[in-house]
Structures are given as C-alpha cells and as structure tokens.
Amino acid sequence: MQLHLVKFGYTPEAWAALLQNPQDRREMLAARIFGVGGRLDGFWYSTGEADGYALVEWPDHVAEATALVAIKATGSFRFLESTQLLTMDEMLEALHAAHDVAYATPGSPAVT
C-alpha cells in the first residue's frame, strides 16, 4: 500500500449543501476508498488554501485513479489532488540511487 496526502477544495455549492445539512463526510469517503482496496487513515478540515486533507493508503495507482475520478465526477470539488508520500528510508534509497542517473540541463551537451 502506498501512502498519499489528498488535498481538496469544495465548490461553493458543496459548502452551501453542508451548511444546509451538516454531516461527517469521513464515513462516506472511507467507504469509497475501501471499495477500491484502500484505507482512509485520517481526515482533517483546514482554514487555509485547501478546505481539507485526507491521509489515504492506496493499493496501486489504478485504485487511486478510480476513486479520485469517481469523486471528481460529482462536481463537488474545485480541486482534488493526491500526492505520494515517501518514508525517510524510501527517500534515502532514492537519494542514493540518484547518483546513477545522468541528467543534462537544458542547453548543455547531451549526456550519453
């Protein structure tokens, strides 16, 4: 399972609906995520740029895309983004492996 931070922003219409009928959205969201083999590890609202965040474990990219596309299709969100999170060990592994990756900056001679 891969851990992701999901960042979302509701539309004004979604906020208006929540004002009319306040409800805890965690259970509904968890059921959708569980339906594709994932797990909701946390859910928070925010007063910043994003309206909220969820910590989600996805079994794979297809399950992630399946759930996010279905949720986005409701039209309730200004944005809905998922960012993969890496453990410290995973990042250290990537940093060590990066030594073997040659990359030429734009305009520099090509690396072979």
Phi, psi dihedrals of residue 59, rounded to the nearest 5°: -70, -30
Give SS3 for 58.
strand
Considering the entire predicted model, what is its pTM?
A: 0.84
* Cβ–Cβ < 8 Å for 1, 61: no
Q: Do 10 and 45 contact (CB within 8 A), yes or no?
A: no
Fold that domain 2-86 belongs to in CATH: Alpha-Beta Plaits (3.30.70)
Angle separating helix axes 61-72 and 26-35, nearest 10 degrees: 140
Read off the pLDDT of residues 11-62 as tens digits, 9 standing for 90 and up.
999 999 999 999 999 998 999 999 999 999 999 999 999 999 999 999 999 9
DSSP per-residue codes, 20-54:
HS----HHHHHHHHHHTT-EEEEEEE-SSSSSEEE
